[in-house]
Amino acid sequence: MPNMSLKKVEMPQQDAKIRAHNFGEVTHGYTPQMAIEEAKRCLNCRHKPCVKGCPVAVRIPEFISLIAEGDFEGAYLKIKETNTLPAVCGRVCPQENQCERQCVRNIKGESVAIGRLERFAADYFMQNYTEETPRIQKNGKKVAVIGAGPAGLSCAGDLAKRGYDVTIFEALHCAGGVLSYGIPEFRLPKDIVKKEIEALENMGVKIALNMVIGKILSVDELLKEHGFGAVFIGTGAGLPGFMGIDGENLNGVYSANEFLTRINLMKAYRFPKSDTPVNVGKRVLVVGGGNVAMDAARCALRFKAEEVTIAYRRSEKEMPARLEEVEHAKEEGVVFMTLTNPKRILGDEKGFVTGVECVRMALGEPDASGRRRPVQVAGSEHIVPADTVVIAVGQSPNPLLVQTTDGLGVSEKGTILVNENGETSRKLVYAGGDATTGAATVILAMGAGRAAAKAIDAELSSLL
């Protein structure tokens, strides 16, 4: 008998007041009993609308049935058939816009908690089993993947499964891309990321760190001199956007990238035990309304900032951040100043930030994105005191690789042009993820990595 409760089984989480001051994970995940109870809410629809909502087509009803039967190992392996990073996706996917939105239970009541169940299966497996080294027949062909973020990891995993000898080239000293430098520990523990990546290495994927492709080696050298049959570019959207307003170079103004990288990748929250510092003042203003802005604001709280405010130029309804992240931020004490935009940043004679002059905004006619365009309200300038300002107004693709690769077509925004198979304007060069779309989600990048892996396999197989 299915569980006909209209609500999801609640997932335990740290109390907001306590978690606002530590980097421990916000939510604790289901116990086996909770998972089985929730799994029984799935109606196992024959037409599987949820799977159509998933960019990597996880076999959702199948894995949920296995959880309901108590076969957690089987559930994990079922997810893993199409998803390289289940523990990551179970935590950071916007399920509410994807699989869970399509769920039939959503029509009357809440959808099945697909994300929570995915996370449960992955965590349970990681705690209780070790992945067997799969016996894969190698096909003797080499593929280079540039960037060890979600797109690259997913592409590498799929190619390794098909027998390819895959090397991932990563510019930083640590694999994971945005999973390592961007998303904070309290939302995605780095041990989880590490284990997911180890599982890939277990499949034979090689990861070469500290390799800034475009500088140390070019794409052409990889193809012509290093024996790679194809190259996949998954270099993400790592170039921080600034606003171009006065005072942005004052001490205390960070790009969200720098702020989060110091904290997540370089572990500034352990300073001075780790050597990289970050300066978080008493009053922090974060500019932007996406997940990155939420992450930055919540990190600032955990550094004991007394007042953390998010300034966003539209209204809360237009905020691109996940609802869950906005709610978590609010519970923890982040103040939301919507319809507000900075005009200039003010500083003292020593070059340190003292405040931000902001202006009120009103929503006008819809713009190209379909959202109503924010316009300044004349005479509404006011000063918000702050000693740290984090600019989280978006990232664009890093031009380094494009500049050093001849004949690679790019858009005006700097994104690499690809078709639905991830094929670029260069033969044997593929791309996917944020490098082709601009900043988007982990799971879309993974879907693109998968599509490109399929196309690479088709192309290299046909060359025989």
Which stretches of the chain bind other proteins, using CB under 8 A? 171-173, 181, 209-212, 215-217, 238-240, 242, 244, 248-252, 254-255, 257-258, 261-262, 265-267, 270-277, 279, 350-351, 398-400
Give the residue carrying structure tokens 């690769």.
Answer: 405
Q: Single out the residue of 132, 105, 119, 152 nearest to residue 6, CA to CA.
A: 105
| Residue 451 Rama label (left phi>0; alpha psi -120 to 50; beta) | alpha
Least CB distance to other proteins at residue 382 (A) = 26
Closest among 128, 97, 127 to 114, alpha carbons compared: 97
| Residue 216 or 323 having the CB closest to other proteins | 216
If the CB atoms of residues 13 and 251 are measured against other proteins, the closer one turns out to be: 251
- What is the total residue count of the chain? 464
CB of 453 to other proteins, least distance (A): 25
DSSP string, 215-229: TSS-HHHHHHTS--S
Are the C-beta atoms of 164 and 186 separated by less than 8 Å? no
CB of 239 to other proteins, least distance (A): 6
Question: Helices 323-332 & 291-302, crossing angle to 10 degrees?
Answer: 20
Instruction: Pick the closer one to other proteins by CB: 216 or 383.
Output: 216
Q: How far is the CB of 211 from other proteins (least distance, A)?
A: 8
Tell me how far CA of residue 447 lies from CA of 232, 367, 375, in angstroms. 14, 29, 36
Looking at beta carbons only, is 57 or 250 nearer to other proteins?
A: 250
| Tokens coding 1 | 């008998």
Given the complex with other proteins, which of 237 and 456 has the nearer CB atom? Answer: 237
- Choose between 14 and 404: whose C-beta lies nearer to other proteins: 404
Token pair for residue 375?
């316009």
Of the candidates 150, 108, 124, 106, the one whose C-alpha atom is nearest the C-alpha of residue 34 is 124
CA distance 389 to 293: 11
The Cα–Cα gap between 453 and 162 comes to 9
Residue 291 beta carbon to other proteins: minimum distance, rounded to whole angstroms: 17
308 three-state secondary structure:
strand
- Please identify, using beta-carbon distances, which residue of 274 and 461 lies nearer to other proteins: 274
Q: Are 21 and 333 in contact (CB under 8 A)?
A: no
- Closer to other proteins at the Cβ: 249 or 425? 249
Q: What is the DSSP letter of 268?
A: G
Nearer to other proteins, 39 or 268 (CB): 268
Look up tokens 């540039």; give the residue. Answer: 146
Q: How far is the CB of 260 from other proteins (least distance, A)?
A: 9
CA distance 203 to 205: 6
Cα separation of the two ends of the chain = 53
Mapped onto helix, strand or coil, the DSSP state of residue 441 is coil
The nearer residue to other proteins, 245 or 337, going by C-beta atoms, is: 245
